[in-house]
A = this chain, B = another copy of it.
Amino acid sequence: MRIGARNQLIGKVTEIKKNGIMVLVKVEVPAKSKMASVMTEESLKDLGIKVGDKVEVIVKAVNVLLLKR
């Protein structure tokens, strides 16, 4: 399967927080960097992921903001 997005990282689910219709899923990507995804609880059920599972983290490049300090 191929995905039309410039950002594709492999990660491991470290935490799932539920409260309301939205859930927050935390993922550890290489070098212990932390990422997070917010999705509906329905999408979480469809994904069927739990802490410890391997997932792919996808972000379209247009949604990536760069800052320079």
Contacts and interface: CB of A to CB of B under 8 A. Distances in A.
Given A4-B46, A31-B31, A44-B4, A38 B66 contact: no
Copies in the complex: 6
A66 B47 contact: yes
Contact of A19 (B20, B30, B36, B55): B20
A19 to B, nearest CB: 5
Contact of A22 (B20, B27, B59): B20
A38 B19 contact: no
Contact of A56 (B54, B55, B67): B67
Interface of A: 1-7, 9, 17-25, 27, 29-33, 35-40, 42-44, 46-49, 53-69
